[in-house]
Amino acid sequence: MTTQPLPLPDNAELLRLDHQVCFSLNAAARAFGGVYRDALKDLGLTYPQYLTMLVLWEECAPQPVKALGERLRLDSGTLSPLLKRLEAAGLVVRERSAEDERSVVVRLTRAGEELRERALPVPSLIATATGLSREEAHTLRALLEKLTGNLDTAHGGR
Amino acid sequence: MTTQPLPLPDNAELLRLDHQVCFSLNAAARAFGGVYRDALKDLGLTYPQYLTMLVLWEECAPQPVKALGERLRLDSGTLSPLLKRLEAAGLVVRERSAEDERSVVVRLTRAGEELRERALPVPSLIATATGLSREEAHTLRALLEKLTGNLDTAHGGR
DNA sequence: CTCCATTTAATTGCGCACAACTGAATCGTG
DNA sequence: CACGATTCAGTTGTGCGCAATTAAATGGAG
């Protein structure tokens, strides 16, 4: 047995550790936001708008809002106004699906497709800014995906 | 040399990888938000409010808004209204510093101190929900802090 | 065919994050 | 001491994130 004068190996100690697990993650996410803000300023996109465009650039076919939401982990409460802004910027059009009148499909305009060219240099800018090696990035991503999966089931699937 | 028909080991490929580095981080941060939302509902705190209270619980002495902002990486534009809500909830009081009239110091009320007891079980709830081992959590935290540091310098210190 | 449950977007309301700006207090230099 | 630069908190405006609700379309059971 160890000679320990410490009176709290318990919750009170955790209340400090806690300050670092979740918090460093939050800080990193916001730091990422700052760098992307700089990189995307010229394109006139915000970071979430950029992520949305990424999905659209990947899947050339028009996407229902629902599918976009699943890909981005966002609900219509967030996506509807965001897509409206992209539409106002002339990058996408939204139109009711013919087969299912409930669904709204999002399609890139010519301008939206062309913007892809100007966005090509962005990822390498960001990759440089992270200063992580390929292996570190891979480790990080694996941990984060495990974490997200665990947290999701804890929260109730959703 | 390898027989590769692949025409794009370049930026176009990165545009997909990119979708995973920043994105998994964002997703994890929001997943954390969901779990904390559940855990903090009974305390009447949001996640950022909880982080603020954590700082106040750690440093018993009254904190200037500026110091809180540095600890939390938040500016007055975010903190001012947040602290107003905490004050409205009776957890803190804000008062102009006597020595420096520009500064506003934030002090816990009795209710704010007492809330700490009810918050004690939160960290272990969260730790369980993450499903990460101690080592994984440590690795993750180290990577995130390195990442944040790198991103910050890239963004311009700020 | 009718009716009810489900699916799908949109809307509302609240809070956070950040840039840009305002105004007051302080500090430093001449 | 005076005056200009700096520091500090607050305010405004925009956009994201999410819960809760609404409304329309669809699908299935009777």
User: Per-residue pLDDT for B77 more than 80?
Assistant: yes
Residue A76, CB, less than 7 Å from strand C? yes
The answer to whether B31 contacts A58, with C-beta atoms less than 8 Å apart, is no
pLDDT above 80: residue A5:
no
> Nearest-CA neighbor of B148 among A106, A25, A8, A155?
A25
CA distance A10 to A112: 54
pLDDT for B8 equals 46
Q: What is the pLDDT of residue B78?
A: 98
pLDDT for residue A9 is more than 60:
no
Sheet holding B63-64, edge to edge: B63-64, B104-108, B92-96
Tokens of B147: 């990442």
Q: Where are the alpha helices (DSSP H) in chain A?
A: 11-40, 47-58, 65-72, 76-88, 110-119, 122-130, 134-155
Query: Residue B6 above 50 pLDDT?
Result: no
pLDDT band, very low/low/confident/very high, at A90 (cuts 50, 70, 90): very high
Q: Is the pLDDT of residue B17 over 50?
A: yes
What whole-number percentage of chain B has pLDDT above 70? 91
CATH number of B29-120: 1.10.10.10
Q: What share of chain A in percent tops pLDDT 90?
A: 78
Alpha-carbon distance A45 to A85, whole Å? 10
- Is B154 (CB) below 7 Å from strand C? no
Beta bridge partners of residue A96, listed in sequence order: A104
Which DSSP string do the residues of B42-108 spell out, in sequence order? GGT--HHHHHHHHHHHHS-S-EEHHHHHHHHT--HHHHHHHHHHHHHTTSEEEEE-SS-TT-EEEEE
The encoded tokens of residue A69 equal 């939401």
Residue A97 has pLDDT above 50, yes or no: yes
For the beta carbon of residue A47, count every other beta carbon within 10 angstroms. 17
Q: What is the DSSP letter of A93?
A: E
Q: Is the CB of B131 less than 8 angstroms away from the CB of A147?
A: yes
Cβ proximity of B135 and A157 under 8 Å: no
pLDDT tens by residue, A100-121: 999 999 999 999 999 999 999 9
> Is the distance from CB of B81 to CB of B93 less than 8 angstroms?
no
Q: Which of A91, A11, A27, A14 is nearest to B140 (CA)?
A: A27
Nearest CB partner across the interface for B32, out of A32, A122, A151: A151
**pLDDT tens, residue by residue, B37-57:** 999 999 999 999 999 999 999
Domain positions in chain A are: 24-120, 132-158
Write out the CATH class of domain A24-120.
mainly alpha
Residue B104 φ then ψ, to 5°: -120, 125
Nearest to A24 among B22, B148, B155 (CB): B148
Q: What is the pLDDT of residues A118-136, one digit of tens each?
A: 999 999 999 999 999 988 9
The helix/strand/coil state of A105 is strand
Give the least confident one: A10-19, A116-125, A132-141, B3-12. Answer: B3-12
CB A72 within 8 A of CB A79: yes
